[in-house]
Structure 1
Amino acid sequence: MCAAVYVLSTVTGYVLTSALLLKCPTLLHRKKRENFLSQHISHRGGDAVNLGTDMLELDCQLTKDEQVVVSHDSNLKRATGVNTQVCDMAYSELPPYLCKLGVTFQRECFCEGGEDKRIPLLRDVFEAFPNTPVNIDIKVNNDTLIKKVSELVVKYDREHLTVWGNASNEIVKKCYKENPRIPVLFSFPRVLQLLGLFYTGLLPFVPLKEQFLEIPMPSIITKLKDPNRLTKSQRFITWLADNLLMRKSLFEHLTARGIQVYIWVLNDDEDFQRAFDLGATGVMTDFPTRLKDFMDRNGISKLQ
């Protein structure tokens, strides 16, 4: 009887402590320093800087002559019409972008390109937007690419304006080792670990090196594909992932620890509203003007 009472009191104490620290994590952890706050994040959209976007999201690859270029795809067939790998060509040999490109996160939607069809260098972005935070996805597990991106960040004095990483935990570890002064994103395995810690009540007790959680809103799959073509198992997995990931208490705990939460890639008012209602720090979009209009109409600003 005494043993049962002891176990019950211990478990109760743990649960209450966990709940307290979930709400007030700074009782145990020092809040991470936030050099910038990004609510409006533009998914590969440099023109959005004129709109006042808080952050640009882009992807980096390495050319044959070791130039760091901004390109989502390793193979350029989709973007340029030429079936070639970025890493197999020198920068001067890269083909230009097509005049019209599909929008990945919007069904049956295309965007027109500008007059300059060149694939840009990362240094071009840094020079054009010296004061705009940039979110860099290291698309290839390449030590030279990681080193050169770090060198460019340092050269342009952007360690306080940059976050980098990838879904691969190996790449994130290499990024952190190369330059621990540049904040890193949660990799996919670390997101799974984060969720495990959250649902077991252990998260409030565990230190986190990452400063940015960047996750999809699983429910948007129904807007990317015909919902009638999704199988029952696909619909169930989407529902389960959405319910596990989209947790207001998780987002509030992380932001209280100075870890910003970004949700991607949202392109309509309904999803914008849901993300901010859940307590996400920011939203990543393919349509910067649409997101800005929504934020202006709803009074969403850094003064919140």
Structure 2
Amino acid sequence: MSPLLYYGLPALGGYAMLSIFFLRRPRLLHTPWVSVFHPRLGAHRGGSGERLENTMEAMENAMAQRADLLELDCQLTRDGVVVVSHDEKLSRQSGLNRDVSSLNFEELPLYKKELEVYFSPGRFAHGSDRRMVSLEEVFQRFPRMPMAVEVKRDNEELIRKVVLQIAALVRHFNRDDITIWASEKSSVMKKCKAANPEMPSSFTINRGIWVLLLYYLGLLPFIPIPEKFLLCFLPTIINRTYFPFSCPGLNQLAAVVCKWIIMRKSLIRHLEQRGVKVIFWCLNEESDFEVAFNLGASGVLTDYPTALRHYLDNRGAAAPAF
């Protein structure tokens, strides 16, 4: 037997055993972050399946269902107001072919009378409240409600401005511990953390891929994790309610590959034990709620908070007290 095999195989075996040992017992190496809230029920865009997305009426409805988290997207108006809006271009939401950044806050149009629910194609939401609201109004109305605020812009200058505005608002309302930085892009997240490092952050796409790579290499138990939340899509919704690609074949392939890679109980359990809250989005069916919680997720983001509340109550999951 060659020296490489003679010494290498036992070393590799020992490394594998050590990795598995600490994967299951991460608290021997890391002190878990302790959250001040427990996000079981998250309302996506304020609960955009039951009321018009991102309106105060939608958020009030989510609060009535004892939501633990509001997920909101932020844009910046021409006069520097942080507005709660998923889209920068207003055509889908209001029919007006203008950008949020090209209008003052008082010039923003009303939402359409009905909007299709993005993650439930063919289903529409209605509501009596059609007014776009500022983030400051939301903070004033729900001062201790945990929220995840996502910065959607690509324009570097507008990103810098909206991030600084959000950070200032969070500090003003003393919400550093209950407001989560969220962004898909690492470049944006870097600006977010620089503006207010006291706010907990979620994984970007690149950081999520990095964690998966570390997990499969067996290195994850030994690497620090600064993020406190993993907001991740549930792979089983691909090609059913979530269509990331225009080609059906690519969606089918993505569903299979992502399901095999992401849906690992040992990975989710490890992250949870290290204090990282794993939240799957955007789930609107009871069968998907079941899959997410059986995997060990902390919570779910949904467009239908009433349906998720009904599921949690029947499952015996008590809503946390703030």
Query: TM-score, with normalisation over the residues of structure 1?
Result: 0.95
Q: Distance in 2 between matches of 1:121 and 1:259?
A: 29
Paired residue for 1:204? 221
What displacement does 1:223 show? 2.4
Unaligned runs of 5+ residues in structure 2 are 47-58
Match for residue 157 of structure 1 among 174, 190, 202: 174
Q: Distance in 1 between matches of 2:84 and 2:26?
A: 37
Q: Distance in 2 between matches of 1:225 and 1:191?
A: 19
Q: Distance in 2 between matches of 1:91 and 1:231?
A: 40
Where in structure 2 are the equivalents of 1:116-127 lying within 5 Å?
Answer: 116-127=129-140
Partner deviation per Cα, 1:191-232 (whole Å, 9 max, x = no partner): 111111111111111111110000101221332279xx9643
Secondary structure of the 2:296 match is coil
Q: Distance in 1 between matches of 2:203 and 2:242?
A: 27
Paired residue for 2:185? 168
Q: Which amino acid aligns with 1:184?
A: S
Paired residue for 2:87? 73
Partner deviation per Cα, 1:121-163 (whole Å, 9 max, x = no partner): 0011111111110011111141010000000000001001110
Q: Is the 8 A contact 1:251 1:279 kept in 2?
A: yes
Asked whether 1:13 is paired with 2:9, we answer no
Paired residue for 1:134? 147
Where in structure 2 are the equivalents of 1:39-118 lying within 5 Å?
Answer: 39-45=40-46, 46=59, 47-114=61-128, 116-118=129-131
Secondary structure of the 2:239 match is helix
Which runs of at least 4 in structure 1 moved beyond 6 Å after TM superposition?
Answer: none
Asked whether 1:144 is paired with 2:161, we answer yes
Q: Is the 8 A contact 1:107 1:223 kept in 2?
A: no
Greater CA drift, 142-151 or 217-226: 217-226
Asked whether 1:217 is paired with 2:226, we answer no
Q: Distance in 2 between matches of 1:150 and 1:233?
A: 39
Distance 1:111 1:19, change over 3 A: same
Paired residue for 2:56? none
Q: Is the 8 A contact 2:238 2:252 kept in 1?
A: no
Q: Distance in 1 between matches of 2:215 and 2:303?
A: 30
Unaligned runs of 5+ residues in structure 1 are none
Q: Is the 8 A contact 1:98 1:113 kept in 2?
A: no
Q: Distance in 2 between matches of 1:176 and 1:205?
A: 23
Match for residue 255 of structure 2 among 234, 238, 242: 238
Secondary structure of the 2:309 match is helix
Q: Distance in 2 between matches of 1:98 and 1:260?
A: 35
Greater CA drift, 131-140 or 230-239: 230-239
Q: Distance in 2 between matches of 1:3 and 1:215?
A: 41
Query: TM-score, with normalisation over the residues of structure 2?
Result: 0.90
Q: Distance in 2 between matches of 1:136 and 1:242?
A: 27
Q: Distance in 2 between matches of 1:185 and 1:177?
A: 14
Q: Is the 8 A contact 1:254 1:260 kept in 2?
A: yes
Secondary structure of the 1:240 match is helix
Paired residue for 2:292? 275
Greater CA drift, 258-267 or 133-142: 133-142
Q: Is the 8 A contact 1:101 1:113 kept in 2?
A: no
Q: Which amino acid aligns with 2:153?
A: V
Distance 1:222 1:301, change over 3 A: farther
Q: Is the 8 A contact 2:265 2:296 kept in 1?
A: yes
What displacement does 1:183 show? 0.6
Q: Distance in 2 between matches of 1:161 and 1:232?
A: 40
Paired residue for 2:52? none
Root-mean-square deviation (CA, aligned residues, Å) is 1.6
Q: Which amino acid aligns with 2:31?
A: R
**Matched-pair identity in %:** 37
What is the total number of aligned residue pairs between the two structures?
300
Q: Which amino acid aligns with 1:118?
A: R
